[in-house]
Amino acid sequence: MCVTASRQRWLVGLSLFALYLIWGSTYLAMRFAIEGFPPFMMAGIRFIVAGGLFLLFLRLRGAPWPNAAQWRSSFMVGGLLLLGGNGAVAYAEQWIGSGVAALAIATVPLWTVLFSEIWGHRSSRHEWLGILIGFAGVGLLSLGADMRASSAGTLALLFAAASWSFGSVWSKRLPMPSGLMSSAAQMLGGGLLLMAASLALGERLVALPSAKALAALVYLIVFGSFVAYTAYQFLFHTVRPALATSYAYINPLVAVVLGVWLASERVGSLEVAAMAVIVAGVALVVAGHRKSGRA
């Protein structure tokens, strides 16, 4: 029992590291990847390859094949998280910088509390105050140059945060495959839906992708999908939701720093102020969870 508990603490720590740092870097990696691939095609390739290889690996290790109900749930959740969430971020980053995109996605914990109301969670005053402050930060963020430059990108980011949050909350009420097979099935299902969206939108390669775009795609497959996405699924079904979504504190800072450092992105005082307000709102939501004892 002690060995199992110790091993789980290590897994939780490593998973948090993956979410805080690796996932924060994927916003810039997506920006580099869409320089050579259309956004939905890029995301589709990423998750089909990652999900297919992961599923094959798990099957070779004896993991059971998901049944029909589990596959149906995996496609629904994968569609919400990966098509609606990740795909919309990639789409938005055609016009909006990776750091600003990460700031908008930092609202995921706020949306998560709102959608939890559907399944009986009653938000405390701290949580409602945090939600109001957090979305005030989003309003402040929308006044920045990046968000004002593209209404389509802004709407896509807001939709991405809401879609990811709803899919995460709903997944806990659906018959999902057990263990790591859940991540593999979601990635494969979401990847196929992304590729279907790419075909429906008429996306196509207009030139051979550059080495930078290919390297970014490989990074997203290995680290963003195999490592970080699996870590998220593990945390969301193992620890408190407040801890599982705590990456929202760190990801924006990581993404902003990397965007400024490696892509010469510009982040003004308005965006910095919006980040502070959004994080303050998320902190109040987390505090409300803990105070109410429902975390």
Is 158 a member of any domain?
yes
Q: Looking at the domain assignment, is residue 7 inside a domain?
A: no
Task: Give per-residue burial for 31-65: e unless 16+ CB within 10 Å, then b.
Answer: bbbbebbbbbbbbbbbbbbbbebbbeebeeeebee
Total domain count for the chain?
1
Window from 9-13, 47-51, 120-124, 227-231 with minimum mean pLDDT: 120-124
| Distance, C-alpha 251 to centroid of its chain | 10
Question: Is the pLDDT score of 84 beyond 90?
Answer: yes
User: How many Cβ atoms are within 10 Å of 211's Cβ, its own excluded?
Assistant: 9
Place of tokens 């990811």: 164
Q: Which domain holds residue 207?
A: 15-292
Average pLDDT over residues 242-265: 83
Q: 131-173: per-residue pLDDT in tens?
A: 888 889 888 888 877 788 888 999 999 999 999 999 989 998 9
For residue 1, the model assigns a pLDDT of 40
Residue showing tokens 């002690």? 2
On whether residue 233 sits in a domain, the answer given is yes
- Angle formed by the axes of helices 68-78 and 151-171, to 10°? 150
Span 190-203, pLDDT tens digits: 999 999 999 999 99
pLDDT of residue 62: 93
| Amino acid 294: pLDDT | 46
**Average of per-residue pLDDT values in the chain:** 88
Asked whether residue 204 is assigned to any structural domain, the reply reads: yes
Report whether pLDDT(188) > 90.
yes
pLDDT of residue 272: 86
In a domain, 92, yes or no: yes
Which amino acid is residue 220, in one-letter code? L
pLDDT score for 242:
63
Residue 30, in any domain of the structure: yes
Helices 247-263/98-105 angle, 10° precision = 170
Q: What is the pLDDT of residue 67?
A: 96
Whose CA is closest to 103, among 288, 228, 284, 267? 267
Total residues belonging to the chain: 295
Is residue 112 a part of any domain in this protein? yes
Question: 19: pLDDT confidence band, cut at 50, 70 and 90?
Answer: confident
pLDDT tier at 247, thresholds 50, 70, 90: confident
User: Beta-carbon neighbour count of residue 139 at 10 Å?
Assistant: 10
Max mean pLDDT range (14-23, 62-71, 221-230): 62-71
Q: Can you spell out the DSSP letters for 165-213? A: HHHHHHHTTS-PPSTTHHHHHHHHHHHHHHHHHHHHTT---SSPPPHHH
Span 58-77, average pLDDT: 95
The neighbour count for residue 226, using CB atoms within 10 Å, is: 21
Residue 60 has pLDDT above 90, yes or no: yes
Token couple for 226: 């195999």
Mean pLDDT of 17-37: 93
What's the whole-number mean pLDDT along residues 83-107? 93
pLDDT mean over 263-271? 85
* Per-residue pLDDT at 66 exceeds 50: yes
Q: Please give the residue that has the higher pLDDT: either 292 or 94.
A: 94
- Per DSSP, the residues of 60-94 read HTTPPPP-HHHHHHHHHHHIIIIIIIIIHHHHHTT
Is 81 a residue whose pLDDT tops 80? yes
Residue 9 forms part of a structural domain: no
Question: Average pLDDT for residues 231-238, to the nearest whole number?
Answer: 80
Contact predicate 271/96, CB 8 Å: no
Query: What is the C-alpha separation between 274 and 276, in angstroms, rounded?
Result: 5
User: Is pLDDT of 288 > 80?
Assistant: no
